[in-house]
């Protein structure tokens, strides 16, 4: 889900998911370091079976961020030290879970999304757990009947537009997926690699849903010929290649989230400098789960419960710029105007994703990368 965003995000998937720039950069730095400790002293792992204390290791993507106050309160309430490790984007996260499943790098994971959920379950990296806080808003997004994953947040992956760039260039803004292949928009779009990025895979699935098995490859051939740029992960695409206000690049079209634009609105402004193309979206749910073979399974379950708590759910929109799974949470001012959900996001049957995901990624790679 991936989740976006921006931390203040992000939080974000970024943080625009935005997740906010400062937070995203901070988390990215930690990711490069290999691991980070939040409130940790010596980073020691707990004794197996230890309850009510010790360290619990959270594996997540490099856009994860929550209020430090909430983290401190979690540690005070549970007696646990929360250590965070971020091996990369959502896709890279699942790859690491699979590669290390016989000697897991942590106890609990957050950031497995719709596009990679079935792979994580099929590879046996998760220990089923149903939180007592998992109500109807959570169970509606269940991936299996065992409770292998718990839904935490929801976001629409969509192409974002730098409105100011198009106004200055005197070009009409694109509206549809088909528009992106028009030569008038040559060399303006940056996407993320679906083999390493969960938003990238979500956007690939949007094109599968839009054009079908017989048409999506031709569509990507057209994007390739129209100069599409591919970034490894969301942070690089949004903060390095995109031309938006919080970014450094020169491409005014980027794969991000429908909830990214509010992050870009200056305080007191009434107009957003970016917008999401709501006719290009794929709905992405981000999940948490207890890792099979966790050194601290009790601590892992406590983290899942914490992520579903009212306090964390209320923090998610501001910290990660995605929608909390809890629909009773009051959303930030401006979201109704600048972060509407897609009315009809493209869909792909979960069974089809499971059956064809790897083949679709290989075909995409052959078509776009060569």
Residue closest to 322 by CA, chosen among 34, 77, 3, 33: 3
Q: Concatenate the DSSP letters of all residues of 146-183 into one string.
A: T---EEEEEEEEEEEEEHHHHHHHT-PPP-SHHHHTSG
239/329 same-domain check: no
Radius of gyration of the chain (CA): 19
| Average of per-residue pLDDT across 281-308 | 97
| Average of per-residue pLDDT across 164-173 | 97
215/359 same-domain check: yes
320/362 same-domain check: no
Domain span holding position 318: 5-153+285-338
pLDDT tier, 177 (very low <50, low <70, confident <90, very high otherwise): very high
258/131 same-domain check: no
205/130 same-domain check: no
Q: For residues 55-93, b (16+ Cβ closer than 10 Å) or e, as one string?
A: bbbbbbbbbbbbbeebbeebbeebebbbbbbbbbbbbbb
78/200 same-domain check: no
149/17 same-domain check: yes
For 97, counting Cβ atoms within 10 Å of its Cβ (0-12 exposed, 13-18 middle, 19+ buried), the class is buried
What local confidence, expressed as pLDDT, does residue 156 receive? 95
264/196 same-domain check: yes
138/210 same-domain check: no
Residues 6 or more apart in contact with residue 221 via CB below 8 angstroms: 367
Domain count, the chain: 2
210/257 same-domain check: yes
Q: Is the pLDDT of residue 114 over 50?
A: yes
Q: How far is CA 93 from CA 1, 148, 179, 326, in A?
A: 12, 16, 32, 24
pLDDT tier, 87 (very low <50, low <70, confident <90, very high otherwise): confident
pLDDT in tens, 123-144: 999 999 999 999 999 999 999 9
220/362 same-domain check: yes
pLDDT in tens, 236-291: 999 999 999 999 999 999 999 999 999 899 988 989 999 999 999 999 999 999 99
CATH number for 264: 3.40.190.10
């Amino acid at each position: 889900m991936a989740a976006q965003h921006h931390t203040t995000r992000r939080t974000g998937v970024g943080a625009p998911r935005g997740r906010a720039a400062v937070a995203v950069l901070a988390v990215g730095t930690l990711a490069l370091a290999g691991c980070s400790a939040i409130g940790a002293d010596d980073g020691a792992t707990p004794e197996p079976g230890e309850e009510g204390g010790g360290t619990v290791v959270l594996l997540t993507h490099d856009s994860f961020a929550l209020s430090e106050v909430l983290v401190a309160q979690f540690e005070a309430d549970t007696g646990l030290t929360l250590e965070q490790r971020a091996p990369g984007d959502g896709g890279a996260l699942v790859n690491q879970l699979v590669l290390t499943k016989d000697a897991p790098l942590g106890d609990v994971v957050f950031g497995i999304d719709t596009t990679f959920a079935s792979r994580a379950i099929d590879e046996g990296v998760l220990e089923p757990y149903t939180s007592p806080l998992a109500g109807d808003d959570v169970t509606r997004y269940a991936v299996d009947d065992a409770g292998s994953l718990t839904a935490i947040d929801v976001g629409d992956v969509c192409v974002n537009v730098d409105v100011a760039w198009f106004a200055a260039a005197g070009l009409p803004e694109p509206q549809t997926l088909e528009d992106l292949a028009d030569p008038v928009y040559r060399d303006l779009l940056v996407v993320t690699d679906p083999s390493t990025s969960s938003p990238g895979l979500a956007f690939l699935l949007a094109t599968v849903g839009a054009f079908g098995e017989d048409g999506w490859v031709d569509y990507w051939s057209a994007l390739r010929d129209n100069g599409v740029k591919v970034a490894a992960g969301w942070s690089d695409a949004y903060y390095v290649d995109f031309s938006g206000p919080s970014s450094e690049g020169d491409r005014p079209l980027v794969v991000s989230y429908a909830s990214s634009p509010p992050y870009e609105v200056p305080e007191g402004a009434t107009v957003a400098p970016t917008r999401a193309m709501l006719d290009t979206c794929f709905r992405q749910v981000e999940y948490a789960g207890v890792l099979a073979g966790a050194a601290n399974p009790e601590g892992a379950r406590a983290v899942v419960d914490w992520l579903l708590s009212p306090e964390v759910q209320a923090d998610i929109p501001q910290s990660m710029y995605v929608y909390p799974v809890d629909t009773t949470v009051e959303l930030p001012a401006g979201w109704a105007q600048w972060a509407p959900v897609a009315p009809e996001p493209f869909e792909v049957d979960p069974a089809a994703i499971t059956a064809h995901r790897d083949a679709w990624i290989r075909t995409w790679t052959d078509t776009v990368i060569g």
